Amino acid sequence: MQILSALPTWFSWNPLLSYFTAVVLLVIGVSIVIKKAPPQTNWQETIVLCGPVFIAMPMALFGLDHYFFPAGVGRIIPAWIPAHTFWVYFVERV
């Protein structure tokens, strides 16, 4: 906890949390795919095998954004749709 007290007061985890989560998910997913890839695959086939990771990582990241930043995501919803916060949480759960 000393590192948190050493951070300046203007520092915020909000923007960094999404980036950190994206990098961690990408590294874990790609490393799992590379370990499970057959030994005779070349680098192009390995990139194709990483496709599910490239799809799942943004989905997990946007899901986290819905929970951590509901007001920011709610501003994207058009003004004519009522109950912005409800739709933010509803869309994330679907």
Note the pLDDT tens digit of each residue in 24-83: 889 999 999 989 988 888 888 988 988 999 888 888 888 877 887 788 888 888 899 898
Q: How many Cβ atoms from other residues are within 10 Å of residue 75's Cβ?
A: 11
Q: Please tell me the predicted confidence (pLDDT) of residue 94.
A: 60
The DSSP secondary-structure symbol of 79 reads T
State the residue for tokens 């998910």: 25
Question: Which distant-in-sequence residues (6+ apart) come within 8 Å of 87 by Cβ?
Answer: 74, 77, 81
Locate the domains of the chain by residue range.
Answer: 13-93
Radius of gyration in angstroms for the set of CA atoms belonging to the chain, rounded to a whole number: 18
- pLDDT above 70 for 5: no
Higher pLDDT, 91 or 34: 34
